[in-house]
């Protein structure tokens, strides 16, 4: 296994890249089940560029050394995570729902059409599917952008998804969302989605706490009720003036 150490410049080059997502992807079920899957897909998405996309080339290579430096993990762990994700990612789909005239329409798109994993040289190459690629392009303001380094210190996939949701509404500083839509966007476990107490404990409060402590946010949230039932959530947020990252 070859996991050479990156120079400071190389490591910074990846962490300073932006992740760009179409807004309907932020609201959709991502289908990515683990933090490693999220990290690898979004790291590769950050390496996409307009020239590559215009030429119809959707292949992106991510090395274990890049991955380890970006997320602050040891090279052996990075190597094992790349290897594990290469075996699961072909099954992951983006799920979007919309109400049509004759009922609910469900769209399912695979994230990748193929994966190459080079065990000896410790890198993985993702071939983003033709259907998924438009979700990762800058489209006339209909997109959400954030620095990859904003998510690099996060240890929860729910924190990462909440970060994407906040960045989508960073210009307003607030977001109100139906509980069901929130659970869908978070890809919350069915048991959490059905039980607000569980959703609150394991998803909302945990994600808010981590974003506050690790990514410099000030976040106030409250449940909105219809009678005794919580039907929506309101988030008011801004960057902490003493936080470590700029928006």
Whole domain around residue 105: which residue ranges?
1-152
How many angstroms separate the CA atoms of 93 and 29, rounded? Answer: 8
Map residue 175 onto helix, strand or coil: strand
Q: Residue 54's pLDDT is what?
A: 52
Q: Same domain, yes or no, for 42 and 130?
A: yes
Q: Residue 244's pLDDT is what?
A: 52
Of 33, 64, 30, 66, nearest to 47 (Cα)?
66
Q: Same domain, yes or no, for 5 and 80?
A: yes
Q: Same domain, yes or no, for 137 and 24?
A: yes
DSSP tag of 156: -
Q: Same domain, yes or no, for 79 and 141?
A: yes
Please identify, among 152, 169, 201, the residue that sits at the C-terminal boundary of a domain: 152
Q: Same domain, yes or no, for 210 and 228?
A: yes
Q: Same domain, yes or no, for 230 and 108?
A: no
Please identify, among 97, 123, 152, the residue that sits at the C-terminal boundary of a domain: 152
Could you list the pLDDT tens digit for every one of the 247 residues in the chain?
Answer: 544 444 445 555 677 888 989 898 998 888 999 999 999 999 999 988 754 555 556 889 999 999 999 999 998 999 999 999 999 999 999 998 887 788 888 989 999 999 999 988 899 999 999 888 888 875 555 889 899 999 999 999 999 999 999 999 999 999 999 999 999 999 999 999 999 999 999 999 999 999 999 989 999 999 999 999 999 999 999 988 875 544 4
Q: Same domain, yes or no, for 126 and 168?
A: no
How many angstroms separate the CA atoms of 170 and 217, rounded? Answer: 11
> In total, how many domains does the chain have?
2
Please identify, among 123, 152, 181, the residue that sits at the C-terminal boundary of a domain: 152
Q: Residue 167's pLDDT is what?
A: 93
How many angstroms separate the CA atoms of 136 and 148, rounded? Answer: 14
Q: Same domain, yes or no, for 20 and 124?
A: yes
Q: Same domain, yes or no, for 148 and 158?
A: no
**Bridge partners of residue 20, in order along the sequence:** 145
In this prediction the pTM is: 0.86
Q: Residue 50's pLDDT is what?
A: 53
Q: Same domain, yes or no, for 131 and 239?
A: no
CATH number, domain with residue 89: 1.10.10.10
Q: Same domain, yes or no, for 122 and 239?
A: no
Q: Same domain, yes or no, for 41 and 125?
A: yes
């Amino acid at each position: 296994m070859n996991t050479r150490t990156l120079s400071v410049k190389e490591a910074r080059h990846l962490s300073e890249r932006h992740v760009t997502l179409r807004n309907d992807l932020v609201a959709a079920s991502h289908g990515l089940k683990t933090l490693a899957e999220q990290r690898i897909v979004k790291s590769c998405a950050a390496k996409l560029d307009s020239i590559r996309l215009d030429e119809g080339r959707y292949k992106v290579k991510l090395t274990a050394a890049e991955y380890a430096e970006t997320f602050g993990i040891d090279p052996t762990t990075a190597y094992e995570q790349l290897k594990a994700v290469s075996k699961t990612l072909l099954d992951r789909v983006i799920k979007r729902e919309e109400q049509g005239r004759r009922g609910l329409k469900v769209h399912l798109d695979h994230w990748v059409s193929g994966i190459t994993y080079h065990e000896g040289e410790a890198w993985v190459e993702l071939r983003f599917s033709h259907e998924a690629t438009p979700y990762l392009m800058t489209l006339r303001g209909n997109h959400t952008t954030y620095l990859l380094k904003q998510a690099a210190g996060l240890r929860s996939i729910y924190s990462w998804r909440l970060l994407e949701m906040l960045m989508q509404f960073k210009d307003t500083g607030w977001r109100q969302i139906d509980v069901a839509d929130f659970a869908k966007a978070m890809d919350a476990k069915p048991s959490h989605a059905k039980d607000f107490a569980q959703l609150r404990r394991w998803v909302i409060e945990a994600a808010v706490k981590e974003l506050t402590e690790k990514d410099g946010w000030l976040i106030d949230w409250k449940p909105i009720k219809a009678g005794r039932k919580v039907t929506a959530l309101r988030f008011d947020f801004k960057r902490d003036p003493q936080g470590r990252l700029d928006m």
